[in-house]
Structure 1
Amino acid sequence: MQAADLPDTETLRLAALHSLEVLDTPPDEAFEQLAELARDIFEVPIALVSLVDEHRQWFKSHLGLDACETHRDFSFCAHAVYQGKALVIEDTFKDLRFADNPLVLGDPHIRFYAGYPLRPVDDQIIGTLCIIDRAPRHFTEREHRLLERLAAQVEALFRQHKRETELLRTAERFEALFSKSATAKIRIGRDGLITAINPFALRLLGYEAEELIGRNIAVLTPPEIAAGHDRFIERYLAGGEPTVIGRGREVEALHKKGFRVPVHLAINAIHDTHDNVVEFLGVLTDLTSIYAANRRIVKEQGLLKVLHQGITDYQALMSGEGLWEFLMEALKELTDSDYALIGEVLPTDTTNALKIHAITDLSWSESSHQLMDRLRRGDMMLTNADTLLGRVFAHGEVVMTDDVYGHRSKGGFPHGHPRLDNYLGVPILSDDVVIGMFAIANSKQPLNQALIDWLQPFTDTCALLINLYRQMAEREQVAKALAAARDQAEEANQAKSEFLSSMSHELRTPLNAIIGFAQLLEKGRRDPLSEKQLRQVQQIEKSGQHLLGLINEILDLARIESGYLALSLEPISVEEVLDDACATLEANVEAAGMRLKRAPLAAKWQVLADYTRTKQVLLNLLSNAIKYNCARGVIEIGVVPEGDALKISVTDTGPGIARERQSELFEPFNRLDAEHGSIEGTGIGLAITRKLVLRMQGHIGVESAPGLGATFWFTLPQTEARLEHRASGDGSPRLSAGSRRKKVLYVEDNPANQRLMQEIIEELETVELEVVSSAELALEILRHARPDLIILDIDLPGMNGFQALQTLRQNPMLDGLRVLALSANATPQDIEKGRAAGFDEYLTKPLDIDKLTKVLEEHLHVVPGVTP
């Protein structure tokens, strides 16, 4: 016996063999089928796919041979590897190299051998496709060509195995990079919805996965930029210049609890092999793009390749019925059958039911035709578990018969029903659960297990599509539910706005009389009050102003929450706003017996903010420091730079706040049990303060401990932009006395408000007041006499203030007549509406007498207390 020599390229050859990663793998159906085909073509008992390793030859397929490997020393294939071409031994007894070979003298008694080298990788021979006979035979040139072609198919199978192994490893590696990464990553669909989010991102943003999957990515962004996200994606998909996608930038992500997390966001578009965008990947770190992929590896089958290509068409998936019809027709063609159906299994309380998606027309009469239409439309489902179909969809059995009419579950066939010669029903499983079935009848092919195995890729595809079909249906239901919830929320928000508007009006109207008359009594020069009466009146006004402040706070909070609060962000001087706030509360600090400490600023700092709202934030924090400080306490204001922002702090020497309760401070209406004490308040001041700071792109917090006082701080973005000079003073013009008494017509239906206005005007000796209770009466008066000014209530019986103003402006005889609105409707929207309607001024109730006096001075050119 002569062992084969080693080829010169043995090292490269072994490297190529091992790169396939196929040695010692389980049997593969494709290799087995090809070896079986070789046995049938050449009519031999043994066909092998042989791989020559360093010390052995191992068989990927060994049909007709019990052993799965032999030693290389007496390997026939090793000789073919060495000589690098086909090896044919027509009679081993006549070849000195093999006459005494153990495989010739013993099992399997080889007398004929033909092996063709396999070169699937880098043109290196890794083994052979060989056929073996136990008797000598002549090997023709035609047989040589056939063996060569079969060997080419084996090479293709090895290359396919290598690709699938590499793809699987790549998919596993990318999945690990996504789910186990120490970087926050989010997958976003073309529609802007979150499709996956890794644990790191969930921990970073405080969510559970089920709370985000299927929601728009905007849920993780601040409100002021959320609406723009979908437009970024739409513009990018339409071919527009990218502004976010593909470009990293510093942004803020919105945590589940409402606070903002600064991150570096990079959104990368993910493309398929055809350069189409399939999804987007958001990386909330400073890393470059990474694509977390989870690819499903589907075994390629030559006979089903066209089918697989068809079902990957996105439009076919969306059309639904067309897809199922396509699959049914493909099933008929693949199995050479006359009839077929594909259905989905739906569980019921008692058993499974079958919803048919596609079925060949079996109708033979008008009534049967109507029945088929109902089945196709899904108006009718099958539930009988003891029929040929029922055994499949209800019990998950494979039913196969060539004797339909003799089968125990045949049921009854109506007269005229087309004849069925054979039948095959196959359940479609997903995780061992029956989710559907397909069936064929009158197949021209034999019905056997080999056919079922051959159709397995088709069965798996149907399972995938049914699950996808269900997911799409569930997504549609979720979309409808979200739309309904959105509509309900919008209705609730509208109801809240209407309630707040009504509450504002109803509360401000009586407060107008309370505060107004208190101010008149306090300022009255004709009948001055005693010192005791003055204190009492001042208490009435103070209480009224306190109630008005509470109403304003509630409305402020509502406006902020609804997004109606408009801010004017501009460069403002920190020193100026601090001076303004401290001056406002200077008397309160002194009255409380406290000291206000404020160190000089280290620089002329500016911040980008709304001046009025910044002052409101400072007043809220300083007022709390006064309220909750200890007797003869100290309040200290500090300003220090912090990165690109300025940090402004207000520190008191009060009792302090326990750490475990500090998170409750910014909750609306939560006063940390102070409501049981003597200090007044609603508990929404800090809630408003926090929302205002966040709206101005800042942050707010507290540092405190029991017995050590508290420090409330907030930050605002620092800016070096040019600061516009803020005008000082009230801007009122210097006025001179007129030559006659000015006439004012006041239209108001509320007697208390009528009397209040009369009392106010009495203090203006140069003004004469006429009061009427309706707009209709006022218009009648205007036909005969023209006043110098009209004060018009909005909510009047009959014709309202807006309608009256419109009538006035249409009368050319009243051109240039000044008309002031006076109403308890005091929201910014109400004021803007009034100015847009054409009122010269829009005054709100409770009425500020000083402001009214200045307005009258401006429009009537009169001086209080001066008689012309």
Structure 2
Amino acid sequence: MQAADTPHNEAQRLAALQALNVLDTPLEAAFDGITQLAREIFDVPIALVSLVDKDRQWFKSRQGIDACETERRVSFCAHAIAHNAPLVVEDTYNDLRFDDNDLVSDAPFIRFYAGHPLRPNGSLPVGTLCLIDRKPRSFSAREQKILQGLAQQVEELLRQRTMRDALTSTARRFEALFTKSATGKVRIDRAGNIIAVNPFALRLLGYSEDELIGKNVAILTPPDIAALHNDFIARYLAGGEPKVIGRGREVNAQHKDGRYIPVHLAINAITNDQEEVVEFLGILTDLSDMHAANQRINKEQGLLKVLHHGITDYQALMSGERLWTFLMEALRELTNSDYALIGEVLPTDKTNALKIHAITDLSWNDESRQLMERLRSGDMMLTNPNSLLGRVFAFGEVVMTNDVYTHTLRGGFPLGHPTLSNYLGVPIFSGEKLIGMYAIANSKQPLNQGLLDWLQPFTDTCALLINLYSQMAEREQVMHDLAAARDQAEKANRSKSEFLSSMSHELRTPLNAIIGFSQLLGKARRDPLSSKQQRQINQIEKSGQHLLSLINEVLDLARIEAGQMALSIEPMLIENVIDDACSTLEATMEAANITLIRTPLPATCRVIADYTRAKQVLLNLLSNAIKYNCKAGKITITVEQSSDSIRINITDTGFGIPPHRHHELFEPFNRLDAEYGAIEGTGIGLAITRQLIERMNGQVGVESELGSGATFWFTLPIADPSACNNARHMSGDTSFAINNQRAYTLLYIEDNPTNQRLMEDVLEEFEELQLVIASSAEIGLELMRQSPPDVVLMDIHLPGMNGFQALDIIQKDKQFRGIYIIALSANAMERDIKNGLAAGFDAYLTKPLDINRLASTLNKFIDLTLEEAP
């Protein structure tokens, strides 16, 4: 047995079969009549209308057999479907496709088969009209033609059945749409009379069906347009431009009780097959809920607009003193009220008082107008608790009445007072605190709990804005106080700076002599000191330098705190800084019998920092490690490198610091009780260290336990290697190296005799330098005019004309062009140096005098003089 092939368009064919909605339906006389006729015409025992499904063939009509279906695999009809062509098998025994078919070898014992495809919807075969005989026979072309005709009748029956089903379904849908629709529907004839109306329309308009059938549709419209309806219909039927028919619009329908109901009306013309209008269908959609919702939405939008404006523009409202008027007018608009007020509740010794910020004008004469002005200005506050307003601001009660004149708290109204029909007073709370109230009168809408609930967001917004108002008022006061405090602090800071500057000058002036003469005595070559005298003079210089370092530390801290310390951040080798600091303190370590241990650096460590300040940090930490070490102790310096920074550790073998006191170490003037011991210090070195390291983008810290020494560490950011080819190295002393081909004149303008004597002693041994001294700027200028010097060394604080005034005269006089002017002053603060250089001094030296730096500076300018000489 050979099963039929599956058609290439099987999916579409099965879809066409399913669309017929005929499978598994009961037998129908129309189909049975055709199969009976086929049996009689062709004299066969079996005639079938067979529909080939996915896995079966099902018989819509069967004559001669009882079975209603068979498997598709044994189906003869499936072969006709596969080829979409008539199939005739005159003798199944002689056809290899069917000789062993179950339907051949068993009931119904098919020996002859003729089937014609059924194509009710076009070219897709869904089944066959087939003839079956139990004996072989021939089948002529004429017989095939007749079979084709009968098959076409079956196709027509299938099409009609499908159309009937569709019409039935449409009718049911129409019935459901008309009678069960959630919109009103009214059928109207060409004369405008109602011929049908659905239940929804009856409920909507309050009528019974008997009251409307046969009546003109105008019964459902307001009187002002009722007479126009027939004209609309007549004009449309006459071919006029439709104004209502075919176009939807919102209108009012009239209820049986006379009230209007907002509806959306759409009228459609219903035509027959000849495109003639036979009736009209009116569709009414109830818009009552929508209209009510729109009113609520408009009302809510109004409320939201007020809330949004109040919240987003509160700063502008408050800055322009428009907040209270804005809230009052918004309240009137939201509640459709004639009068409103809003105020702030202020506590008093006895009870709360109301300060009115905004109120609708209720005046009726000059006296009442003055009263209103007093209320608006805040000059007058309300305090009576037993009134319509008082119960609100005094006790936080809501007072609501639709009859003001019968209310127990009404009080008396003066003659001429505007009539008040209703009143609502609402307290404004912030948490449990009563902070304000508002009130309305003569509202056009009912005063009830619903209105109060609806106004709650407005009430909450009022609370927020009143709090903001209070906070901004407090803020303004705080800002005013802060401005006053800032001015006072700036004044104090200026006074502090002036004091520090003055202190620096006054202290450095005598130190200049102390340190300078001690250095001269210690370096004297003509009259060398004895060993004892050398120790004594060294002690004098050491004490002077110690006092100078204390002054410098105080000034450094002041500069840092004032943000006036400028740093020169540049790439450098940290090894050079460490070398420089260690060599500076080498003698101190030897004197204290301290062993210095330096571990090898992990690599060439380049950092970004200020060389001088980095050295200052190291000197400070190393000095502390020396001072607070034990006898014959050790100091270890290690350097650790990470991906972005270098950490320098200074570890001592001293007594250590308890962890709970580590945070005190970097506080100014806190020496952790060491001030009561023999070790000298100000207690601000570590505070300066922290400030300097942080300003160089590093960190500083300590690791220590009591009894086990301490490790102070700091970090600095790693520099780009390419930027460090010329890293600085600063060390060593500078001495005089003056060309001795001729003598050079140095004019020293200084009024202090001690300082004059010091300079004489400093330059005494150098015959190449001729020193001329002037005790005032005026004398110095006169000497310069008589015999111009090579270099001028000038104090700033001079009797009469000061150093800056003298510099100005020198700069303007062409005779003095080419003379180098060096400032030497006890004004040593950074801003003093900056101001001096900005004024035009070629260099700025500070007291106490650093002889090596003086020598270096003089060498520089004398060399320049040589280069410029003709």
Q: TM-score range by the shorter chain?
A: 0.5 to 0.7
Spell out the pairing of 1:91-170 with structure 2 (5 A cutoff). 153=289
CA distance in structure 1 between the aligned counterparts of 2:348 and 2:211, rounded to whole angstroms: 64
CA distance in structure 2 between the aligned counterparts of 1:628 and 1:713, rounded to whole angstroms: 16
Q: CA deviation at 1:450?
A: 5.2
| 1:611 matched residue in structure 2 | 611
Spell out the pairing of 1:459-470 with structure 2 (5 A cutoff). 459-470=459-470
1:724-780 Cα offsets, whole Å, 9 max, x none, are: 42367668895321434x443322222322222233233333434333332223334
CA distance in structure 2 between the aligned counterparts of 1:482 and 1:530, rounded to whole angstroms: 64
CA distance in structure 2 between the aligned counterparts of 1:406 and 1:597, rounded to whole angstroms: 101
Shift in alpha-carbon separation, 1:477–1:115, aligned structure 2, 3 A: farther
| 2:680 matched residue in structure 1 | 680
Answering whether residue 305 of structure 2 is matched by residue 329 of structure 1, we say no
CA distance in structure 1 between the aligned counterparts of 2:336 and 2:669, rounded to whole angstroms: 75
Q: 1:843 aligns with which of 842, 845, 857?
A: 845
Q: CA deviation at 1:510?
A: 1.1
1:429-462 Cα offsets, whole Å, 9 max, x none, are: 3334332222233445555555545544443443
| 2:303 matched residue in structure 1 | 307
Which is worse superposed, 472-481 or 614-623? 472-481
Q: 2:815 aligns with which of 813, 816, 833?
A: 813
1:676-719 Cα offsets, whole Å, 9 max, x none, are: 22222222222222222222222222222233222222222223
CA distance in structure 1 between the aligned counterparts of 2:850 and 2:211, rounded to whole angstroms: 116
CA distance in structure 2 between the aligned counterparts of 1:656 and 1:316, rounded to whole angstroms: 59
CA distance in structure 1 between the aligned counterparts of 2:838 and 2:461, rounded to whole angstroms: 64
Unaligned runs of at least 5 residues, structure 1: 1-79, 89-113, 117-129, 161-298, 864-868
Q: CA deviation at 1:824?
A: 0.3
CA distance in structure 2 between the aligned counterparts of 1:434 and 1:702, rounded to whole angstroms: 55
CA distance in structure 2 between the aligned counterparts of 1:153 and 1:402, rounded to whole angstroms: 28
Shift in alpha-carbon separation, 1:453–1:707, aligned structure 2, 3 A: closer
CA distance in structure 1 between the aligned counterparts of 2:400 and 2:391, rounded to whole angstroms: 11
CA distance in structure 1 between the aligned counterparts of 2:336 and 2:603, rounded to whole angstroms: 89
CA distance in structure 2 between the aligned counterparts of 1:354 and 1:535, rounded to whole angstroms: 85
Shift in alpha-carbon separation, 1:450–1:743, aligned structure 2, 3 A: closer
1:448-496 Cα offsets, whole Å, 9 max, x none, are: 5555455444434433433343344344444444444444433333333
Q: CA deviation at 1:411?
A: 4.4
2:388–2:399 Cα contact (<8 Å) kept = yes
CA distance in structure 2 between the aligned counterparts of 1:427 and 1:138, rounded to whole angstroms: 58
Answering whether residue 427 of structure 2 is matched by residue 427 of structure 1, we say yes
| 1:489 matched residue in structure 2 | 489
Shift in alpha-carbon separation, 1:714–1:85, aligned structure 2, 3 A: same
1:48-100 Cα offsets, whole Å, 9 max, x none, are: xxxxxxxxxxxxxxxxxxxxxxxxxxxxxxxx99x985599xxxxxxxxxxxx
| 2:317 matched residue in structure 1 | 319
2:734–2:852 Cα contact (<8 Å) kept = no
Larger radius of gyration: 2
CA distance in structure 1 between the aligned counterparts of 2:660 and 2:313, rounded to whole angstroms: 56
Letter aligned with residue 833 of structure 2: I
Shift in alpha-carbon separation, 1:425–1:720, aligned structure 2, 3 A: closer
Q: CA deviation at 1:785?
A: 3.6
| 2:555 matched residue in structure 1 | 555
Spell out the pairing of 1:262-341 with structure 2 (5 A cutoff). 302-313=298-309, 314-315=312-313, 318-320=316-318, 321-341=321-341
Which is worse superposed, 142-151 or 589-598? 142-151
SS at 1:698 equivalent = coil
| 1:670 matched residue in structure 2 | 670
Letter aligned with residue 605 of structure 2: W
Shift in alpha-carbon separation, 1:368–1:747, aligned structure 2, 3 A: farther
CA distance in structure 1 between the aligned counterparts of 2:780 and 2:676, rounded to whole angstroms: 51
Letter aligned with residue 600 of structure 2: P
Letter aligned with residue 307 of structure 1: L
Shift in alpha-carbon separation, 1:504–1:426, aligned structure 2, 3 A: same
1:354–1:383 Cα contact (<8 Å) kept = yes
CA distance in structure 1 between the aligned counterparts of 2:432 and 2:599, rounded to whole angstroms: 75
CA distance in structure 1 between the aligned counterparts of 2:828 and 2:499, rounded to whole angstroms: 13
1:790-841 Cα offsets, whole Å, 9 max, x none, are: 2211011222110011012212222222222110001222112111212222
CA distance in structure 1 between the aligned counterparts of 2:850 and 2:335, rounded to whole angstroms: 90
CA distance in structure 2 between the aligned counterparts of 1:681 and 1:374, rounded to whole angstroms: 68
Unaligned runs of at least 5 residues, structure 2: 1-175, 185-198, 213-219, 221-252, 264-283, 866-870
Letter aligned with residue 617 of structure 1: V
CA distance in structure 2 between the aligned counterparts of 1:317 and 1:519, rounded to whole angstroms: 69
1:513–1:846 Cα contact (<8 Å) kept = yes
CA distance in structure 2 between the aligned counterparts of 1:688 and 1:464, rounded to whole angstroms: 48
Letter aligned with residue 661 of structure 2: R
SS at 1:312 equivalent = helix
SS at 1:394 equivalent = helix
CA distance in structure 1 between the aligned counterparts of 2:464 and 2:683, rounded to whole angstroms: 56
Answering whether residue 739 of structure 2 is matched by residue 736 of structure 1, we say yes
Q: CA deviation at 1:394?
A: 1.6
Spell out the pairing of 1:451-530 with structure 2 (5 A cutoff). 451-453=451-453, 455-530=455-530
Letter aligned with residue 492 of structure 1: A
CA distance in structure 2 between the aligned counterparts of 1:137 and 1:451, rounded to whole angstroms: 41
| 1:632 matched residue in structure 2 | 632
| 1:182 matched residue in structure 2 | none
Answering whether residue 647 of structure 2 is matched by residue 647 of structure 1, we say yes
Shift in alpha-carbon separation, 1:630–1:401, aligned structure 2, 3 A: closer
| 2:753 matched residue in structure 1 | 751
SS at 1:647 equivalent = strand
Shift in alpha-carbon separation, 1:827–1:444, aligned structure 2, 3 A: closer
1:211-258 Cα offsets, whole Å, 9 max, x none, are: xxxxxxxxxxxxxxxxxxxxxxxxxxxxxxxxxxxxxxxxxxxxxxxx
Shift in alpha-carbon separation, 1:138–1:625, aligned structure 2, 3 A: farther
Shift in alpha-carbon separation, 1:150–1:465, aligned structure 2, 3 A: farther
SS at 1:357 equivalent = strand
Q: CA deviation at 1:521?
A: 2.0
CA distance in structure 2 between the aligned counterparts of 1:376 and 1:668, rounded to whole angstroms: 56
CA distance in structure 1 between the aligned counterparts of 2:200 and 2:557, rounded to whole angstroms: 87
| 1:377 matched residue in structure 2 | 377
CA distance in structure 2 between the aligned counterparts of 1:512 and 1:552, rounded to whole angstroms: 14
Shift in alpha-carbon separation, 1:323–1:844, aligned structure 2, 3 A: closer
| 1:111 matched residue in structure 2 | none
CA distance in structure 1 between the aligned counterparts of 2:465 and 2:286, rounded to whole angstroms: 35
Shift in alpha-carbon separation, 1:644–1:630, aligned structure 2, 3 A: same
Answering whether residue 764 of structure 2 is matched by residue 762 of structure 1, we say yes
Shift in alpha-carbon separation, 1:317–1:647, aligned structure 2, 3 A: closer
CA distance in structure 1 between the aligned counterparts of 2:707 and 2:777, rounded to whole angstroms: 62
CA distance in structure 1 between the aligned counterparts of 2:701 and 2:778, rounded to whole angstroms: 56
1:738–1:862 Cα contact (<8 Å) kept = no
Letter aligned with residue 790 of structure 1: V
Letter aligned with residue 769 of structure 1: L
Letter aligned with residue 737 of structure 1: N
SS at 2:589 equivalent = helix
1:410-444 Cα offsets, whole Å, 9 max, x none, are: 44545544344443323233334332222233445
1:737–1:861 Cα contact (<8 Å) kept = no
| 2:246 matched residue in structure 1 | none
Could you tell me the TM-score, scaled by structure 1's length? 0.63
Shift in alpha-carbon separation, 1:658–1:456, aligned structure 2, 3 A: closer
CA distance in structure 2 between the aligned counterparts of 1:327 and 1:115, rounded to whole angstroms: 46
Answering whether residue 564 of structure 2 is matched by residue 568 of structure 1, we say no
CA distance in structure 1 between the aligned counterparts of 2:664 and 2:430, rounded to whole angstroms: 49
CA distance in structure 2 between the aligned counterparts of 1:820 and 1:627, rounded to whole angstroms: 38
SS at 1:672 equivalent = coil
Letter aligned with residue 369 of structure 1: R
Aligned residues: 604
Q: CA deviation at 1:393?
A: 1.4
Letter aligned with residue 504 of structure 2: S
